[in-house]
Structures are given as structure tokens and as C-alpha cells.
Chains A and B, each alone.
Chain A
Amino acid sequence: MARKVNLRIWRGNSTDGGLQNVTVDANEGEVVLDVIHRVQAEQMNDLAVRWNCKAGKCGSCSMEINGKPRLACMTQMGSFEEDETVTITPLRAFPVIKDLVTDVSFNYKKAMEVPAFEPPVGMKPGEPRMEQIDVERSQEFRKCIECFLCQNTCHVIRDHEENKKSFAGPRFFIRIAELDMHPLDILRNRKKTAQEDHGLGMCNITKCCTEVCPEHIRITDNAIIPMKERVVDEKYDPVRWLGSKIRKREGIL
């Protein structure tokens, strides 16, 4: 039942590295993470890879498979051609620590910059009453497993290290949208701060984040665009504003 598959795995550290060819068995139904584990157990004991649940629930095994940001645990080996060499590389937007493991601390710093949930003053535990329909909008964003594939694929930071300082990224736009739409959150101006402090305006809605989301969260349509529209309603002439943003960052598209 097992067949031989050829992989090219990026190995190296923060300063140096390259692709290494390896041939390994793959059994029926196996995912990329299974064959990486086999390589690790049999051929490269110290091959660094992050993973936790191997069930698509924790978002640890994010990497690039044939150049596409994917979860290794949810990518079937059967999705490739029989004789195809599968190339496995670390996330490109973050600094490499070793092999397939990158330093994703950028995301935790950004998480710290989003003002926390703030319930109504004086509300006591057990008191909240919310309609299902009202919680569902935020629940969609709370499905996020923090795999950071959206952050990795986003053009604004993927090739533009200098943008990282002022751009929170799609993961945190949905966090802000979640709080903004949260029936109990009382903090005002979340959309405005998304625009002014978290770089929402730098997003040019190419929807790459939505495409890679393993949870199928409609990041662009349900979080980013509604926030942009409302910010715009409040403050800007949309066409002129968007145009100026695009011109300012030539070469990003």
C-alpha cells in the first residue's frame, strides 16, 4: 500500500540553509505531516517542525507546501500527482529559527496591541442576554485557530518587513472586528483605531488571507470590508483615499 514519495524539505537556520531531497514511504490517506514525521523518525531525527493536534484544530503546523501556505496536517499526500516532488518550506513572512520552524512572535506582539474586550460597567456574571443571531457574527471570527497563514500570505508584510511595525495583519483585523461586533463590548472607536493604529488602510483587499484560511473565515468580506466601509463613511472620500494608499506603496501588488 505504501508508495515512495519525493520531498524537498528546506533545512537550515536563521543565517543559512537550502532544500534537501528525501525519499520516504507514504501510506494511503496520509497527510504531509505524517510523511514529515516519518522522515524525522527514520532519516533526520533533528528535523524541526511545529505541530500539536494533527487534526486541524490548533494551527501549529503552518508551512508552505509547493509555495502555498498550508496546514501540514490538513494537506493530503493524495492531492499531489504520483510522481510529483513536494516542496516544503517554512513560512516566508517570519524569520526562520530552524528548518520548518519560524519565529512567529510578531503575532503575539500585535495581539498585545489590540485593546481588550470591555464589558458594560456594573454588569454581573450570569446577567448577559444575547440573541444567537447577534453572537454569530463575532463567533465566525472566534473560530480563528491562530495558524497565522493569513499573516504569512498577506502582501503587505510578506515581502515588506518595514510594514510590520504599522500593520497588524488580517488575523488582528478579525479580532478587532470581532470585538467591534461583540454585543457586550462597550469600547468605542474600534474601527477608527483599526484604521489609525493597526494599519487597516494598508490592506488592498486582494483576499489572499481569505483564500488560505483553513477555518474558511471570510476575513475580507465579513471583517475587513465592513470595517473599511464604516471608517470611510465616517471620515473619508473612499476613492481618493484608496488611491492614495495604493500609490504610496508601489510594488506591493
Chain B
Amino acid sequence: MSTSLERHKYDVVVVGAGGAGLRAAVEAREAGLRVAIICKSLFGKAHTVMAEGGAAASMGNVNDNDNWMVHFRDTMRGGKFLNHYRMAELHAKESPDRIWELEMWGALFDRTKEGKISQRNFGGHEYPRLAHVGDRTGLELIRTMQQRIVAMQQKDARDHGDAESYIKVFAELTVTDILKENGKVAGVYGYYRETGKDVIFEAPAVVIATGGVGKTFKITSNSWEGTGDGHALALKAGANLKDMEFLQFHPTGMVWPPSVRGILVTESVRGEGGILTNNKGERFMFNYIPDVFKDKYATTAEEADRWYTDQDNNRRPPELLPRDEVARAINSEVKAGRGTEHGGVFLDVSKRLSAEVIKKRLPSMWHQFYELAGVDITKEAMEVGPTCHYVMGGVEVEPDTAAAIGVPGLYAAGEVAGGMHGSNRLGGNSLSDLLVFGRRAGMGAVEYVKNNGANPVSDATIAKAAERIEAPFKRSGGENPYALHQELQEVTHNLVGIIRTKSEIEEAITKIADIRRRASQVTVSGDRTFNPGFHLAFDLDNMLLVAESTAKSALLREESRGGHTRDDFPEMSSKWRQVNHISSFDGTQVNVKAQALPVIPKELFDLFDPHELEKYMTPEEMAKGGSN
């Protein structure tokens, strides 16, 4: 095996070529390091392309009252104060620079009248804050980064005679193991999807930026790549996952026809004035404003409507509550029998905007509904319902460096990292998260490589990794990975979905363990050349570990907060706010323990009105007033 094995040596290997991975790669290359970028699909196809609404950054271009402190407060509120304060702080402070920098790399955002980058309203953001390009902002972001990398390669071609001498993209490559020697990262092992051939990358630093886990669930807005690879790889390499019980069900996914169920309907539809109604024609969101947000949202349709033209003297429409609130509200309406024929609610923007404006501001939504559902959104309402969209949980990291705790040389950024968004992410905070922490992961890796040279991989480690890839072909009589994947999706959807309860979560844990046992025996037909059944066998293994971590964390958290709703514990509890759930892997199963949430420092504590904090914190915490 080792004689024919393709080998590469790099300073930094970035696993994942979405926004975070590409931003990390740019940073490491700019520092003079040699970087490999590994993507599971073709270059430029990562799930980032699907981000629609925009990237949140308090540039203050539309409302100059905005600044990092307002953004920080909104992010913490959105996450119900479970966020790692330092990540939320760095994110709020650095987002504007990351957006402006994209412009210097060729990005073309929509403009204000003064010619600045335009910013739009979004759920949970006090001011118009999302830099955007129509409703295809993610595409703009990934294409800009992709082209930035090409620009660096062109420079390397001029300076070093070889475009790929310092930064190279390895497309359609699946990583199956993060390799370690002497307790530190030594590289990654995997196979080319096209040929099925094994490949090893030796590198002292590895950045994982593999995105989310949506494909664990039946109804999801995620592409096939969202199989929790980085979560599982990190877990197996000895890192921790934090708060995996928190999954964001985006309130508005398509519900009809069945084949498009789950495809995202951007929050911009509501940001641009779309309203939600039930089958009685009632604008139901007014009935679902939670106490903690009572003074920030309009209580009448008249006030809500006025807000679109006068934000200083009116409160925001409740359609723009954070996503967890809207998703639960829609769920309740449907459960109470007030849903549409296909189990959703109505979302209508046709009454507020002209057909021309809709097509201009929401072009891909118009296109998507027209082509896939036969609905003209400039004339009719859309049918929408919750869809699994984003995992707030992820690899436990040091906020400033994105270093994975417990594994020297491992870094994680973007959706795969945990902590930034607490229990619920605000729309628009993901694209900016990718840029801020992608860059920081790149910087972290650079700093690490300065002090840690190559860490050669032993033959024994290689043999073990190669054996794992070969295994599904050697077995016979096992089950089909497609069938097991469907079974897992049913279990997660039905038992650890948007509303959870103790007995169901326990049932899920048992069932996931059973599927995992059977998945370890799956057999694969055909050979190694571009064989999706073979690929799914590995993705499945990752999804099962993620699902186990989610179910076990969900069982422990006896409260409802953000993307975790317990029917048997419907209240949010300030006691539980002080707890993070940390998943680790012992080689056989995932174990979850409670860990104290870092205490917010005084200077950040003081940014809030104490009356607001009282709704989230215990009297003892309030008395302390943050750490000093």
C-alpha cells in the first residue's frame, strides 16, 4: 500500500472549501505558508453558495446608529445568552473589515444611494445590517474567495513558476481520518472520490471547515455535503463537541411539492416585508412574541407596517423575531390545525412589493418557486414550514485562535465550530462568522506552524487508515447504506426534531446505537471509481456520531432554549444557561458532560440593560455583574 500511496506534504491542510475554509487558506498563504485546500465536491460548490440573505456587519451604512456593540447585543440575545461571549465580541468587532476586504477582492455588493454597500433588515438585527447581493450573497462570497485564491495562484506562477506551488485545491476528495502522532496533529488521510484512490497529506496543522450536519435529518435545507464530517473527524481525533443539542430549524422551507420539501426560502422575504398567515388569514406571529422580546416588537399590524418606512418611531414586525421563535410558532399553528393543505403556513410578499421589485430583490426565490413549485410569488403566497438548517453546536475552540481544545494542531471554523451562536444563530451571522473565524483559524494555524515543525506519520497509522477505507469492500451480506441513511433520518426527524421529549430522545439514542452497529457492517457494491454507495458508507458513519451527540446532549438539557425545545420542560431556565454540554468520544460511544459556561466580563455585561439580563441570568450572576 505505502509504495503506491499518493503523498503530499504541506504546512497547513484546510479540510472544507466553503467560506471559512477558503478564508483560512488565504490567511495562511498570505503568511507565506504552503496550503492544501481539500473539498468534498468541486471547487466553488460548497454549501456556502446556498446562503441567500446576506452577511451581517455593523458598517452602519443604512442606519448610522449601528455599531459593534449593538451587533454584539443582538447576537447574544439571539443565542439566548448561551454564546461564548468572546466569539460574539470578536465577530461583532471584525465583521465590517471582513466585508470591506471582500470588496477589494472583487465582490460586488448591492449599493446604497450614496454608493456604499447596502444593508438589509433581518430577524433579530436591530438595524439594517446585512450586506447582500440580491438573494445570492453566499454565491458572491464563495466566488470572490475562489477568485482570490486563483489570483494568489497566478502570482505564485509569476513568482515561482508554478501556480500550485504554494496553494493547491484538491477537489472531490473525502477525508476519512485526522492523523495524529505523539498527541499532535500530523495530517489527514482520505480518498479521491473520482478514482477511489487513497491519499495522505502530512501537515502539522489542520483546519477543519466542513460545515454542518443537516443531512442527518429528513427535511433539511442542506446539500448532500452536510454530513457532519468535520464534527465526527474532530471527535474521533480527541476534540470535543459543544452544545450539539442546538439545531436551527429555519422557519421557512418549501413544503410543496414533496420533492422540494426543505429547500430554503430566504429570510429576506420577511426582511423585505413578507408576512406570515395561517389558513384563517390571521397574521399569527403577533400571538407568539415571547416575554423577553415584548418591548422590541410591534403588537399591531399597523405599527408593524409603519416600521418598514419609519424605524425610529415604530417597533419591528414579529415576523422578524429570531428564527427559533418563528419556527416554533409555525409548528404550533400547523399542529393546531391552522396550517395549509400541505402542512405549512402562508408567506406572502406579493401584497407589499411590486412584481418588478420582487424579481429584483428576490430573484432566486422567484425562480425557485416558479420552476419547482409552479408558484408565481409576485402574485401568490408561498407555502412554508420549518426545515433543518444549521447546527449551532460544534467543535469546542479557543475563541481567538479557533484552536480545537485538546488537540494541538487542529483548528475549526465556520459551522463546524461551536460557541459563537449560542442556542440560536441570527440570520446573516453565518457568512460573517465564516470570514471572521476562517481568518482567525488561518492565523492560529500560522502561529502554530511557526513553533511546531513537521510531525511525520508512522506506517502503522497509515495502515490503519487505509484498512478503514478498504473495509466496506471486504465485507459481504451487510445492509445497503442508502436504506440505513433513510432510517437514521426518520429517527432524528421524529424523535429529536424541532420538539423533543424525554421518552422519545431515549428511544432515539437506542435506535441510533442500533443503526450504528448495523452501519459498521454495510457492504458496498461496485468498485472504487466514483461510487456514491461507497462514499455514503463514510458519510453515514459521521452522521451517526453527530446524531448520537445531539440526542445525548438533548436528553440532558431539561429546559427549552433556542434550537432545543423540550415538550416536557417548556421553560427557559437561568440555571441551565450556565451550562455547556461537552461531547467526547471514547472509541466506542459519545459521552456528554456538563461544563460551566465562561462568565461574561464586566465591560460586556455593562453593555446591557440589567433589566434585560435579569430575564436570562440568576440573581447571583446579576449581583456579581460579570467577571473582572
Q: Which residues of A contact B (CB under 8 A)?
A: 13, 27-31, 34, 40-42, 45-60, 74, 76, 97-99, 101, 103-104, 108, 111-112, 115-117, 119, 123, 125-126, 128-132, 135, 138-139, 142-146, 179, 182, 184-185
B556: CB under 8 A from chain A? Answer: no
Please tell me if the beta carbons of A129 and B115 are within 8 angstroms of each other in the complex: yes
Q: Which residue of A lies closest to B136 (CB)?
A: A143
Q: Give 4 A-B pairs besides A45-B525, A55-B260 with Cβ atoms closer than 8 angstroms.
A: A13-B529, A48-B532, A115-B154, A142-B143
The answer to whether A40 and B259 touch (CB under 8 A), given A138-B108, A145-B139, is: no
Q: Is B475 an interface residue (CB 8 A)?
A: no
Report the separation of the CA atoms of residues A4 and B614 in the bound assembly, to the nearest whole angstrom.
61
The answer to whether residues A53 and B114 also contact, given A27-B259, A47-B532, A48-B530 and a CB cut-off of 8 A, is no
Contact check, A139 vs B45: say whether CB atoms are below 8 A apart: no
- Write the nearest CB–CB distance from A48 to chain B, whole angstroms: 4
Q: Give chain B's interface residues, CB within 8 Å of chain A.
A: 41-47, 49-50, 59, 96-97, 100-101, 103-106, 108-111, 114-116, 118, 133-134, 136, 139-140, 143, 147, 150-151, 153-154, 163, 171, 194, 223-225, 256-260, 263-264, 364, 367-368, 371-373, 480-483, 486, 524-527, 529-534
Please indicate the chain B residues that have their CB under 8 angstroms from the CB of A125 in the complex: 97, 100-101, 103-104
Q: List 7 A-B contacts (CB under 8 A).
A: A41-B480, A41-B483, A55-B263, A57-B364, A98-B530, A115-B154, A139-B108
Contact of A135 with B532 at beta-carbon distance under 8 Å, contacts A29-B373, A34-B259 already known: no
- Out of B257, B481, B527, which one reaches A30, CB within 8 Å? B257
Contact B524 A45 (CB under 8 A): yes
Give CA–CA (A53, B91) in the complex, Å. Answer: 27
Assess whether B368 is in contact with A56, with CB atoms less than 8 Å apart: yes
Residue in contact with B43 in the complex, picked from A55, A101, A108, CB distance below 8 Å: A108
Q: How far is the CA of A50 from the CA of B106 in the complex (A)?
A: 29
User: How long is the Cα–Cα vector from A132 to B264 in the complex, in angstroms?
Assistant: 27
- In the complex, what distance in Å separates the CA atom of A173 from the CA atom of B526? 40
The 8 Å CB contact of B368, one of A27, A34, A55, is: A55
B148 closest partner in A (C-beta)? A116
B530: chain A residues at CB < 8 Å are 48, 97-99, 101
Using Cβ atoms and an 8 Å threshold, which residues of chain A touch B531? 46, 48
- CB neighbours (8 Å) of B526 from chain A are 45-46
Whether B45 lies near A52 (C-beta < 8 A) is: yes
CA distance A128 to B41 in the complex (A): 34
Q: How far is the CA of A253 from the CA of B439 in the complex (A)?
A: 49
- One of B139, B143, B258, B480 near A29 (C-beta < 8 A): B258
Q: Which residues of B contact A31 (CB under 8 A)?
A: 259, 372
- Residues of chain B with a CB closer than 8 A to A128's CB: 103-104, 115
What's the Cα separation between A163 and B524 when bound, in Å? 40
- Give Cα A57–Cα B151 distance, bound, in whole angstroms: 24
B42 and A50 form a contact (CB under 8 A): yes
Closest to B112 in A: A132
Residues of B within 8 A of A28 (CB): 257-258
Q: Which residues of chain B have C-beta atoms less than 8 A from A53's C-beta?
A: 45, 47, 49-50, 223
A28, A45, A108, A143 pick with most chain B CB within 10 angstroms: A45
A112 to B482 Cα, complex, angstroms: 38
In the bound complex, residues from chain A placing their C-beta under 8 Å from that of B139 are 57, 142-143, 145
**A38–chain B nearest beta-carbon distance, Å:** 10
Q: Nearest Cβ in chain A — how far from B514, in angstroms?
A: 20
Please indicate the chain B residues that have their CB under 8 angstroms from the CB of A98 in the complex.
194, 529-530
With a 10 A CB-CB cut-off, give which of A55, A60, A115, A119 has the most chain B CB atoms: A55
| Residue in A46, A60, A99 whose beta carbon sits within 8 Å of that of B42 in the complex | A60
**Closest CB in chain A relative to B144 CB, distance in Å:** 9
Residues of chain A contacted by B481 (CB below 8 angstroms) = 45
- Nearest-neighbour CB distance to chain B for A162, whole angstroms, equals 24
Q: Specify which chain B residues have a CB less than 8 angstroms from the CB of A111 in the assembled complex.
A: 150
Contact check, A116 vs B150: say whether CB atoms are below 8 A apart: yes
Q: Is the pair B45, A59 in contact by a Cβ cutoff of 8 Å? A: yes
Contact A130 B150, beta carbon cutoff 8 Å: no
B372 engages A41 (CB within 8 Å): no
Contacts of B258 in A (CB 8 A): 27-30
Whether the pair B480, A45 counts as a contact (CB closer than 8 A) is yes
What residues of A have a CB within 8 angstroms of the CB of B527 in the complex?
Answer: 46
Q: Which of B41, B97, B109 contacts A60 (CB 8 A)?
A: B41
Inter-subunit contact A45/B533 (CB<8 Å): yes
**A60→B45 contact, CB < 8 A:** yes
Bound complex: CA A111 to CA B530 (Å): 24
Which residue on chain A has the smallest CB distance to residue B113?
A132
Q: Which B residues are CB-close (under 8 A) to A74?
A: 371-372
Q: In the docked arrangement, what's the CA distance between A59 and B223, Å?
A: 12
Beta-carbon contact of B110 and A58 below 8 Å: no
- Assembled-state Cα–Cα distance A55/B262 (Å): 10
Shortest Cβ gap from A102 to chain B (Å): 10
Contact A117 B223 (CB under 8 A): no
- Report the Cα distance A101→B192, complex, angstroms: 14
Are B108 and A46 in contact, CB atoms less than 8 angstroms apart? no
User: What's the nearest-Cβ distance from chain B to residue A134, in Å?
Assistant: 8
Cross-chain contact A135 with B257 (CB below 8 angstroms): no
Q: Name the one of B46, B118, B133, B364 contacting A142, with C-beta atoms under 8 angstroms.
A: B133
B483 and A29 form a contact (CB under 8 A)? no
Closest 4 pairs (CB-CB, A-B): A29-B257, A46-B526, A129-B115, A116-B151
